[in-house]
Amino acid sequence: MQQELLEVQRERFSLTDNSKYILQGIWPRGGEAVAVLDDQTVEAGLEKWENNSALERFKKQENCQWERITLNVRLPKNLEGKHELNIYAVSNGKRKRWFRVKGADLCAKRKKPQFYLEQILRSPKTGTCCVNGWVASSKPVDIKITDLTGNVLPCKINRITRVDVQEVYKECAIEEKCGFTIEIRKLFLEGIRVEFIAGNEKTEQYISMRRREILKENIRDYLQKTVRFTRTHGILALPQKILEKLSGKNRAVQYSEWIKRHLPNVKELEQQSNTVFVQQPVFSIVVPLFKTPEKLLRKLVESVQAQTYSQWELCLSDGSGAPSPLDNVLMELEQSDERIRIVHHESAMRISENTNSALKIARGDYIVFVDHDDELTPNALFECVKAINGRPELDILYSDEDKITLNKKSFFQPHMKPDFNLDLLRTVNYICHLLVVSQKLIYKVGMFRSEYDGAQDYDFILRCIEASDKICHIPKILYHWRCHGTSTAENPESKMYAFEAGRRAVQAHYDRLGIRAKVIQGEFPGLYRTKYIRACDPLVSILIPNKDHIEDLERCIKAIDTKSTYKNYEYIIIENNSEQEETFQYYTELESKNRKVRVVYWKGTFNYSAINNYGASFARGEYLLLLNNDTEIINNDCLEELLGYCMRADVGAVGARLYYEDDTIQHAGVVVGFGGIAGHCFVQQKRGYTGYCHRIICAQDYSAVTAACMMVDKRAFDEVGGLSEELAVAFNDIDFCLKLRGAGYLIVYNPYAELYHYESKSRGLDDTPEKVSRFNKEIETFAKRWPEILQNGDPYYNPNLTLDSQDFSLRRN
């Protein structure tokens, strides 16, 4: 038995029974439990903890001597004066202490809101602190952040749906949005307190902001990570991991250094200025002004005048109202450069009508939308005209962007965007800046609409993409978005009304297209969630290949049958050369007890593609759900979330958010190019972490999703010939998605369909010469099929981001 594996992984009180103390963890197989409170033995009942990973399952086959259990300890109602609770595992006549906790700690936890801080990011230098976690109570919980004297601190708190936490606390209905993120900025304190208040009960957590304390905590975390790494990968893998860390091979690139290397230098700018294009469109840079600080206005104008492409005009509309604080500076600017055109207004104007006033005096072929306190990079228009010369039909162009401080001394938070991504745009206005639209398209779709003020640009771009698919993304930083106190770049709450306007803009977009959907606010300001409204409930055929491992299969089916609110489905279990007699007995019992189940028998050698194609031939449903047997749905509306997107005519397949058993990400979309071929996004990121630009929690299009859980339109499946059987094991799902993309379908990742995937993190792909040879052959087959995307890059991933890891960090060169 591996002694170091015996550990408690979760411990808590029941929310409905204050005498019930619940512990879960790893336990010696067949061992008995003895719980002692001081010198008194108390009741302790063992039961099986069902969530077993593939790694543990394989060890069980090797007569592993441990298992996962839940231990229910019955404690007295009064714990005052009690010193310590000890829990022992008794196995083979030997008693080993498994867990201990002080009586005072038990008293402090009992009856209080229960919480867990999953991630704490702190910077004493900048005075920022970001906290992710969850809290649970039988009552609604308020979260308050205070300093050490009890003063409430200004901060941003977002509440997040955490179905996994709800599943843990099954004894009562806790709040759906029991997860949270807390963000505190520019508060230079020794420490803060996070308070959780539920009715008359309160508990709190102190978070130090002192460098020395943070260093101690980091050292402790690294030691814990080292222990976990050696458990999973073995002690022999540790030196190589340490060398990688010390070499800085995977060290994140600092954007402040990266941007210096990627903005054009003086020589490049000079070459751009001397370039003569065949197509030389005029750009009208449209800027609505409203009591703009003179210093910022001048910097904006200077950034326009510094453009290496000179065919532009600057159209300024001063909506400050008379008398305007900008009169003198605008008069000076107008006289200094004939390309600057200004329109004045006697009364103050709102953002849409102010922008429209600037649009009305614009004479250019393309309109460039710029905010009054931001800046363009000197190559912004050059890159736009370069793209237009390559594709003269373009109607819409947009670029990457970043943020700058007031004094322009710091560049930060770069937004490296994908090429046009319809479902991401319906989730968040990721296009934002720089936005360039042809004058002819504006004539077609109309100007800005005042009823969407605050999100007028969101409504406008949605109308534009409805009218034209001639869209180009320029993967370069061409726009600096300035941050100051009232800017939405720095303070989203300064325009909370804008987020409701944004929701209405997306809803109106669906309404215009005749798509039945309901748009609701997402988990963060500016994010939106679409719930599609079905006219019917079509039959879904759930295809589950299986070879032995009936415990996995039973758990997978049980979760769907007991949790799913969608009921019109059938199971096609594809038996794949099982070797254990009890497997076939289980099939017989399953078919007799569950009318939805049909077992079909694949007689050939293992070929994942052929097995699923075979199963699909028996399917009666309009939609197929390819599903691994070692998965378990988490949310009750999982099938409905997948089906909502899949029923759209433009969608071929939909993927889900998958977690390992330890609540880290296993799949949140696929990028072609990761690892040389393809890989999952945000692997092993902690639950509650939302990823780069919140991409983990955004519905969006990808080039591919995993077939561990993939819903497919049956017609689209048949249209592309199912999965390619030349790819027996690896990359068949990626290849299948690319075939669907080639046929004109979208591949959607829906983060609101959540499942556990009990696949081992440490399971190797290949461990024999035969498997290595087969894997290499399948890589070669995939590369021959899809050379263009491997060479040019995944359109749903930005080329400025690295392919060496899946965290969407900057390229390391």
Contact 808, 691 (CB under 8 A): yes
Q: Is the peptide bond before 434 cis (omega within 30 degrees of 0)?
A: yes
Q: Are residues 146 and 228 in the same domain?
A: no
- 804 found inside a domain: no
What is the pTM assigned to this prediction?
Answer: 0.82
Q: Are residues 733 and 660 in the same domain?
A: yes
Residue 348 has pLDDT above 90, yes or no: yes
Q: Are residues 196 and 272 in the same domain?
A: no
Distance of CA 790 to CAs 319, 531, 728, 784, 798, Å? 49, 34, 21, 10, 13
Q: Determine the pLDDT at residue 766.
A: 47
Q: Which of 39, 74, 109 is the last residue of a domain?
A: 109
- 376 found inside a domain: yes
Q: Are residues 672 and 558 in the same domain?
A: yes
- 630 found inside a domain: yes
Beta-carbon contacts of 170 under 8 Å, excluding residues fewer than 6 positions away, are none
- 525 found inside a domain: no
Residue 3 has pLDDT above 80, yes or no: no
- 798 found inside a domain: no
Higher-confidence position of 242 and 550:
550
Q: Are residues 124 and 142 in the same domain?
A: yes
Per-residue pLDDT tens over the stretch 220-252: 877 877 776 675 566 776 787 677 666 555 566
Q: Residue 432 has which token pair?
A: 């934002």
Higher-confidence position of 307 and 24:
307
Q: Are residues 313 and 442 in the same domain?
A: yes
Residue 61 has pLDDT above 80, yes or no: no
- 261 found inside a domain: no
Q: Are residues 420 and 548 in the same domain?
A: no
- 450 found inside a domain: yes
Q: Residue 185 has which token pair?
A: 């900025």
Cα(442)–Cα(363) distance, integer angstroms:
12
- 256 found inside a domain: no
Tell me, what CATH number does 195's domain have?
2.60.40.10
With bands split at pLDDT 50, 70 and 90, how would you rate the model's confidence at 682?
Answer: very high
With bands split at pLDDT 50, 70 and 90, how would you rate the model's confidence at 316?
Answer: very high
Cα(344)–Cα(330) distance, integer angstroms:
10
- How is residue 684 annotated by DSSP? T
Tell me, what CATH number does 573's domain have?
3.90.550.10
Per-residue pLDDT tens over the stretch 271-281: 999 999 999 99
Q: Are residues 132 and 53 in the same domain?
A: no
For 404, the domain range is 266-497
Q: Determine the pLDDT at residue 331.
A: 93
Q: Are residues 241 and 317 in the same domain?
A: no
- How is residue 622 annotated by DSSP? S
Cα(456)–Cα(458) distance, integer angstroms:
5
Distance in angstroms between the alpha carbons of the first and the last residue of the chain: 46
Task: Please give the tally of structural domains in the chain.
Answer: 5
Q: Are residues 189 and 226 in the same domain?
A: no
Beta-carbon contacts of 61 under 8 Å, excluding residues fewer than 6 positions away, are none
Q: Are residues 202 and 225 in the same domain?
A: no
Q: Residue 741 has which token pair?
A: 């993309």
Q: Determine the pLDDT at residue 249.
A: 56
Closest CA to 414 of 256, 260, 184: 256
Q: Which of 497, 524, 544 is the last residue of a domain?
A: 497
Q: Determine the pLDDT at residue 60.
A: 44
Q: Looking at the DSSP assignment, which residues form a beta bridge with residue 132?
A: 119, 181
Residue 370 has pLDDT above 90, yes or no: yes
Q: Which of 109, 137, 155 is the last residue of a domain?
A: 109
Q: Looking at the DSSP assignment, which residues form a beta bridge with residue 747?
A: 653, 702
Q: Are residues 347 and 284 in the same domain?
A: yes
